[in-house]
Amino acid sequence: MTTRWSRRGFLTASTASALALPLPVPAGGTAAAAAEADEFATLRAKWRTLVLGEGFSPTAEPFKSRLAELGSTANELRHAMAPAPGSLWPDLVYADPEPDTDQESYGYSGNLHASYGRLHTLALAYSRPGTGLTGSSTLRTAILTGLDHLYTDVYNENRARYGNWYSWQIGAPQALLDVCVLMYDSLTATQIAHYCAAVDHFVPDSAVAAYTGTSTGANRVDLCRVLALRGIVGGSAAKVALARDALSPVFPYVTSGDGLYSDGSFIQHTTVPYTGSYGSVLLGGLGMLFALLNGSTWAVTDPQRQIVFDAVEKAWAPFLYNGLVMDSVSGRAVSRGLSATDAKQIQQDDHLRGHPVLASIVLLGQGASTAENARWRGLVKGWLQRDYYSPAMNDPALPVPQLSRLKSVLDDTAVTPAAEPNGHRLFPNMARATHRKPGWAASLSMADRRVTHYETGNGENLRGWHTGSGMLYWWGDTFANGQYSDAFWPTVDPCRLPGTTASRKVLADAAGGDWGASLPDVNWVGGATDGQRAAIGQYLKGLQSTLLAKKSWFFLDDTVVCLGAGIRCTDGTKVETTVDNRNLGPVGNAPFTADGIVKPLAHPWSETLTGARWAHIGGHAGYVFPGGATVKALREARDGRWRDINRGGSTTVLNRKYLTLYVDHGTDPTAATYAYLLMPGATAAQTQARADATDWLTVLANTNDQQGVAVPSLGFTGVNFWFGGTVGDLVASDPCCVMVQERGDGTAVVCVSDPMRMRTGLTLTWNRAVTSVTSKPATVTSATTGASLRLTFGDLRGTAGATQRVTVRLG
């Protein structure tokens, strides 16, 4: 017989058990105090439901297997537990012989966190149905023994922390308090008092007194979760109220540092785009806390929480594609593939990072408006159905509650899956862009004086040096969704990331410093978009290199036009621009054609393609080189280990086949250039046709001063003015980005931005007959029409690089 693990059943059972151990009643023993105690019991019951999951059948897949696996894991952990001074499990020694904050101490504190994590696993197996250990008295004894041992031995009010602050203030206490909720009916008042005292010691109220340091963004949400659960477990209304109130600084838009920006950017660690990692934690944490406190005395009612709801479609959705979250906003998490200590050896990747985001959106929707919830469920269902590469229902790392939330959406016949949108999104505040067109999507990563080249730290992402040097990621709708998932990061040549221009200078692991410290001293990074197409530019300064380059991208319907100019360097090494570097998997037999000639499939193989007009990688993309170019093609089999890029990674050697196209600018170039078109998903015939259509694209400029293109058939013109000047029909007085889109209805939109954020005034002339200006932003102080359009902009410094859109009627 199939039984449903319903929310009602959970609430009934858990509330009853929670009430079996009375909370301390405040002085006076009033009815109000008793009601407050009842409310804490209700909140513990709600948290049990959130942690354990609801609405699933423990005898139906995929839950049956997942629960059985949980039981097996818990049984192994129970038998391996061996309390001793300095450890609860022999392989997780947390006693630090020289406690400080160096990397070795980070390991010891991490083992403390992991020890509580294992107790959390045991408590889940004890509390969930279908594990084979549900309600086991032997398992209960092991859990209680473990809790007491860790309190007595290490995590108590008399100890000083060492290693990573996160382990003591977030990792360990979150797991501890979850276990306290799950095992509440088995804990004595003394045990609860001890554990709460330990949490109070390591996470005092002062942890959220100021919105700064390690108490911002996702970290602040995590700390609020600790405080809220501490209040619920220990019966402290003041703690729960503090947790609720301390969330408020997370909500407002920020203009610098950590948090959400009005353009949809999300930054953590001051300089790192982190929508897909810390942003995921923030979204999930807020969803859990909103759900927990909703309807209680401590409900989150701050009206600015609407900013978080708005961010679902403004900040997170643009970086979600077919179930994955783009690596361009996942920071050092991209290096967390296979962990050396993961007994299951589950490889983390962009899909496995994306699925929890989808589940968090579903949970957050429960507290949003009816219209928002309906839209979000449609978005999630579309992403889930299109995730052919790594279906969420098969995700071995997705916890049961998230799995059940996503399955509920998939099974809901009232939800219509939303199709992929068609358009462009620019995120000036984190130097990122996303582009979606029928059949494909792309993401661009850049760096400037506000946004780091890359982040390393905790021994992670040791060779992400060039990910901010114009890396252009792309995916097909039904192909190449595993491009960056399938052991890409440990096996790819880190100096040949797709789209980047880089010096071959040898860099040390973690070069540039931890926590996003490497910031290039450049301002001109950004672009302009009408929401469908875009012109984007990056003044590139290489990491610990003399490399300088001007890079431009023009995002169109089936093409990204890529230009490079002013490329110079004195490192004494070669400089290369990587047109693309495709991960072909373990076999690597995708055909490669250049100018109609099919090239060998053998590995290794290389050839210099002189005067190349076009190239094609079967099942991937086409590449066009306007006017011909000298391009190097390379097939190679590359070995790598996750340990190479993450000190906690697996030492297993992996091998992947790559096909790389790159432009060799030579050693110490002085004024090198490049130009190519990327056509994701194009066939060889389509690629050749585009190469043959020499009038389709006009490169208006490709110099150190300006870069621009025109595509007459699309009515598109885009120019990056690194300096003021004239390019085609456009004249700019000062550095700026301009994109003009002429429409079929006799109108045009002129998009202008100040990527440098330095213009106190700007004049733009378009030598095209214009009869009227139909709309303009307040930044336009005057507009003259006639035989040409002359726009005068006032102070643009406060626009944060955002696009200024002017709509005109053509003459």
Residue 17 has pLDDT above 80, yes or no: no
End-to-end alpha-carbon separation of the chain, Å? 75
Q: Hey, what are 403's tokens?
A: 């799995």
Q: Which residues contact 443 (CB under 8 A, 6 or more apart)?
A: 319, 326, 328, 329, 432, 433, 434, 435, 472, 473, 474
The vertex-385 CA angle with 380 and 390, nearest 5°, equals 100
Give mean pLDDT, residues 651-676: 98
Share of the chain above pLDDT 90, in %: 95
What pLDDT, in 10s, does the model give residues 765-775? 999 999 999 99
pLDDT at 32: 67
* Cα(7)–Cα(494) distance, integer angstroms: 48
Q: Is 156 a catalytic residue?
A: no
Q: Which residues contact 180 (CB under 8 A, 6 or more apart)?
A: 187, 192, 195, 229, 233
Give mean pLDDT, residues 513-525: 97
CA separation, residue 440 to residues 350, 480, 481, 483, 589 (Å): 16, 10, 10, 13, 22
Q: Hey, what are 631's tokens?
A: 């391009």
* Cα(241)–Cα(224) distance, integer angstroms: 10
Q: Is 97 exposed, middle or buried (0-12, 13-18, 19+ CB in 10 A)?
A: exposed
Q: How far out from the chain centre does Cα 629 lie? A: 35
What pLDDT, in 10s, does the model give residues 179-191? 999 999 999 999 9
pLDDT at 15: 33
Q: Which residues contact 731 (CB under 8 A, 6 or more apart)?
A: 725, 764, 765, 766, 767
Q: Is 473 a catalytic residue?
A: no
Q: Domains (ranges, CATH) in the chain? A: 13-411 (1.50.10.100), 431-445+462-692 (2.70.98.10), 695-811 (2.60.220.10)
The vertex-553 CA angle with 550 and 554, nearest 5°, equals 140
Residue 92, φ and ψ in degrees, nearest 5:
-130, 70
- Helix (H) or strand (E) segment spanning residue 750: strand 747-753
What pLDDT, in 10s, does the model give residues 426-477? 999 999 999 999 999 999 999 999 999 999 999 999 999 999 999 999 999 9
Q: Is 655 exposed, middle or buried (0-12, 13-18, 19+ CB in 10 A)?
A: middle
Q: Is 184 a catalytic residue?
A: no
Q: Hey, what are 716's tokens?
A: 């598109």
Give mean pLDDT, residues 399-424: 97
What pLDDT, in 10s, does the model give residues 471-497? 999 999 999 999 999 999 999 999 999
Residue 10 has pLDDT above 80, yes or no: no
Tokens 């209700």, residue located: 42
What pLDDT, in 10s, does the model give residues 356-386? 999 999 999 999 999 999 999 999 999 999 9
Residue 14 has pLDDT above 80, yes or no: no
* Cα(330)–Cα(348) distance, integer angstroms: 12
pLDDT at 608: 98
**How many CA atoms lie less than 13 Å away from 449 in the CB half-sphere?**
7
Residue 340 has pLDDT above 90, yes or no: yes
Q: Which amino acid is at 87?
A: S
Q: Which of 269, 351, 453, 665 is catalytic?
A: 269
pLDDT at 658: 98
- 531 in helix, strand or coil? coil
pLDDT at 103: 85
pLDDT at 343: 86
Alpha helices in 569-673, H assignment, sequence order? 642-645
* Cα(753)–Cα(280) distance, integer angstroms: 30
Q: Which of 75, 164, 219, 583 is catalytic?
A: 219
Of residues 612, 648, 654, 652, the one with CA closest to residue 633: 612
Residue 7 has pLDDT above 60, yes or no: no
Q: Which amino acid is at 112?
A: L
Give mean pLDDT, residues 666-680: 98
Q: What is the dihedral of CA 341, 346, 351, 357, to 10 degrees?
A: -60
The vertex-251 CA angle with 300 and 303, nearest 5°, equals 50
Alpha helices in 53-136, H assignment, sequence order? 63-80, 103-127
Residue 537, φ and ψ in degrees, nearest 5:
-140, 155
In sequence order, the β-bridge partners of residue 660 are 581, 634
Provide the whole-model pTM.
0.93
Q: Which residues of 714-734 are buried (b: 16+ CB within 10 A; e: fewer)?
A: eebbbbbbbebbebbbbbbbb
Backbone dihedral region for residue 431 (phi beyond 0: left; psi -120 to 50: alpha; all else: beta): left
- 453 in helix, strand or coil? coil
Q: Which of 184, 195, 278, 539 is catalytic?
A: 278
* Cα(705)–Cα(566) distance, integer angstroms: 8
* Cα(432)–Cα(444) distance, integer angstroms: 6
Give mean pLDDT, residues 118-147: 98
Give mean pLDDT, residues 260-269: 97
